Amino acid sequence: MRYRTYLKLAANILFHSKIRSWLTIIGIVIGVGSVVTIMALSDSMEADMESRFADMDMTSITITPGYSQASSAMGNKFGGTSSSSTNAELTDKDVMALKLVENVDYLYGQITGSEDVYYLGQSASISLTGVDPQVWQYVTSYDVASGRLLEASDNYVAVIGDNVANDIFDQPIGVNQVITINGKSVRVVGILESGDNENGIIMPIDAAVDIIEDAEEDVYDSIIVTVDDVDNVDAVVEDIEEKLMISRHVTERDRDFTVSDSSSQLESASDMMDSMSLFLGAIAGVSLIVGSVGIANTMFTSVMERTKDIGTMKAIGARNRDILMIFLFNSAMVGLVGGVLGILLSLVLTSMLPMLGLTIMRSSMGSTLSPDLVVIGISIAIFVGIISGVVPAYRASKLKPVDALRYE
């Protein structure tokens, strides 16, 4: 027989068992739709992460108070402050010790907190960051949409994020407008571009110490170090750890600070994304397994229903290979239809996620299906269909004509 004949007979089997075939196809649709949607979201999140880290200064190192063996085992990737020493602090003494580290361009301490901000009779709790304006303007990767960055002579002024300026309050906050924080008037000198610390306020550290509750002079929540060359980052990290352990009179067993760099954060984020995608993909893969069992069940039933037809075909000259190919084409066709509908389902799902307001990594969770994902999704569906139909098709091809014609 020719392949066109195989296809015609396989389609005939599919269309003459509509309800059973469509129930089987639904399983493949759900499986393929889930897998392709997860792959699309994974690609979208990876691209989003790469774009965000592309703007990050890879020569930046962050020191934070606190240390734990758990954070060490994870490589201290995010500079977490999980600590076995709850009273650990970073002070000017640490800054002085770090000034002895070689290959460092810039060094400054910063503090953070959350305070109520008042503007035109409205209030909102907003994150504040206090930085050294003499250094921060040279190391920051943030860009201003209007106004300017902080300067060395600034005191009670601030640079605010795009959301703070335009979304949090009913009336937008413009450059040179005055906001009130903890009873202190602060003038806005700059508004950051969208995507740069959108929900925060950055101000000189001297003013931040006065404004942020519980903040202390010469005590920092973190210390930022900028290295002169990315190739020197690892060496500087080791030097920082050595200098601070000596300065703070601690050993590896009782150290009370964490050192993290941008490259390790990128590596950790990438590993986390891969693990999450693998986990979600495995869950979605269960749907494909269920769908493959459905295809196998449908194929076994089709073989039983068409036992006499198989006997008739063999009696008039059909070979075992012809019977095998007919049923394999039938199972592949079930997979193909399920794969195409699964791709359509994935398109609907990925387009609906932004409408539901879901976000990942501070950006819209929506994504588009690349041609590669479409091909992969349909290929998976056809492969699952063929694999599921191999055993039923083989059994059908081995039926003896006499026994098949006698089958009731």
| Residue 173, pLDDT score | 95
| 404 phi, psi to nearest 5 deg | -65, -40
Residue 109 pLDDT greater than 50, yes or no: yes
Start-to-end Cα distance in the chain: 27
pTM, entire model? 0.62
- Residues 132-176 have pLDDT tens digits of 999 998 888 888 999 999 999 999 999 999 999 999 999 999 999
pLDDT for 53 equals 67
Residue 260 banded pLDDT, cuts 50, 70, 90: confident
Which segment of 60-64, 129-133, 314-318 scores lowest on mean pLDDT? Answer: 314-318
How high is the pLDDT of residue 368?
Answer: 66
Check residue 116 and give its pLDDT.
94
Whole-angstrom distance, CA of residue 256 vs CA of residue 161? 32
Backbone angles phi, psi at 217, to 5 degrees: -70, 140
- Mean pLDDT on 25-45: 83
pLDDT band for position 391 (50/70/90)?
confident
Does residue 65 contact residue 308 with C-beta atoms inside 8 Å? no
Task: Give the model's pLDDT for residue 238.
Answer: 92
**Pairwise CA distance, residues 330 & 274, whole Å:** 36
pLDDT digits (tens, 9 = 90+) for 263-316: 777 777 778 877 887 887 787 778 778 888 888 887 888 777 777 778 888 888
The pLDDT confidence band at residue 206, using thresholds 50, 70 and 90, is very high
Does residue 74 carry a pLDDT above 50?
no
What tokens does 52 get? 């965000």
Close Cβ partners of 83 (under 8 Å, ≥ 6 residues apart): 65, 66, 67, 68, 256
In sequence order, the β-bridge partners of residue 219 are: 91
Three-state SS across 116-146?
EEEECCEEEEEEEEEECHHHHHHHCCCCEEE
pLDDT (0 to 100) of residue 362: 45
> Looking at the chain, how many residues does it have?
408
